[in-house]
Amino acid sequence: MERVYAALARVPLFRNVPQEVIKLEPLSGSLTNVCYKVTIGRAAYVLRLAGEGTSDYIDRAAEKHNARVAAAAGINVEVIYFDAENGTMVTQFVEGISMNGGQVWSRDMGAPIRAALLLKRVHRLRKVFASRFDVFAEIEDYVELLRGWRPALPQEYYEVGQKARAVRRALEASPVPLVPCHNDPWPGNLLDAGARIYLIDWEYSGMNDPMWDLGDLSVEAGFGPEQDRLMLEAYCDGAASPALYSRLELYKAMSDLHWSLWGFVQHTNDNPAEDFWSYALGRLERCTARMSSANFDPHLDAVRADRLPTLPLRPPSPSGTPRPTGAPTKGSIR
């Protein structure tokens, strides 16, 4: 616990608080970081200690900026302290239920609607995020990290690589204005506090195509066609175009590919939180199945032909700050 108390001593809020009045409780759910509930009297907080080595590939300064923008809008929990040098963060503790679990989404058909409206609030934030999330650049960087490491990437990765390049070309032919995105709306990052849902963990946030968030949510929550329909119709305030469904399907495949490679990196870094080799292989297998389906090429064609894609939001850029558009640009890995 020495690391925990040393971190608390660096936080102005806790600096002069005797250890004997601090109650610490480990929190589960994080795969790369370590989190504790910190209780002092009736006040409760969350201390996040960044996982070893994560700050080598996560832009903590950008995370700090983006997390505070989202908190100011009431989407994220309040950020009380953030050290961008080492990733230590203290936030308000909010009583709520994690939405990580298949029953949440299968039993409550309103859950995809609530999540879609929350993501729409993110995408309508009027401040530009301090980073850019480009899944294709992320993939390239993960592969570069893994090059020369053992075990080598499975052959299946190279077999889907050509299809991934086709996805990139289709999206570049049909660009949309970039908006603030969370980029990791895994259900474990959705905290249902009853009156509202909070979206936590902004490590991977950045400017992006908003359909990435919806595609990633669909994959992570295990949505079926009906849940995708509810999500998109809530997001669009009505029926979504066939081309938008196709865009969603492309990002669902890229979500599996991206997180597969992330899993291989975690395995290579000896992250003990999970069997990341099996996790990565499973996601790569699902990506391969998506890209091999009879419907995938028609989805590519539909997105490629949608030269002026219509999304239900166009948040204005802050004065003097251009809104990025067009083809993806290379960004840092998470």
Backbone angles phi, psi at 126, to 5 degrees: -90, 5
d(CA 82, CA 92): 12
d(CA 276, CA 265): 9
Are residues 308 and 119 in contact, defined by beta-carbon separation less than 8 angstroms? no
- Protein fold of 98-305: Aminoglycoside 3'-phosphotransferase; Chain: A, domain 2 (3.90.1200)
Closest CA to 240 of 199, 211, 204: 211
pTM score of the predicted model: 0.90
Rounded-to-10 torsion of CA 217, 186, 87, 142: -70
Are residues 32 and 51 in contact, defined by beta-carbon separation less than 8 angstroms? yes
CATH 3.30.200.20 domain position(s) in the chain: 2-92
pLDDT computed for residue 102 by the predictor: 65
Closest CA to 312 of 222, 247, 227: 247
Spatial CB neighbours of 104, under 8 Å, sequence gap ≥ 6:
111, 187, 221
The Cα angle at residue 147 between residues 143 and 152, in degrees rounded to 5: 100
pLDDT computed for residue 51 by the predictor: 87
CATH 3.90.1200.10 domain position(s) in the chain: 98-305
pLDDT computed for residue 74 by the predictor: 97
Are residues 214 and 231 in contact, defined by beta-carbon separation less than 8 angstroms? yes
d(CA 51, CA 48): 9
How many angstroms separate the Cα of 204 from the Cα of each of 3, 44, 122, 280?
Answer: 25, 26, 14, 19
d(CA 204, CA 193): 23
pLDDT in tens, the chain (334 residues): 889 999 999 999 998 899 999 999 999 888 889 999 999 999 999 999 998 878 777 899 999 999 999 999 999 999 999 999 999 999 999 999 999 976 788 788 899 999 999 999 999 999 999 999 999 999 998 898 888 777 778 988 988 999 999 999 999 999 999 999 999 999 999 999 988 999 999 999 999 999 999 999 999 999 999 999 999 999 999 999 999 999 999 999 999 999 999 999 899 888 888 899 999 999 999 999 999 999 999 999 999 999 878 787 755 455 434 344 443 333 333 3
User: What are the structure tokens assigned to 71, written together?
Assistant: 């908190």
pLDDT computed for residue 153 by the predictor: 86
For domain 2-92, the question of CATH label 3.60.20.30 is answered with no
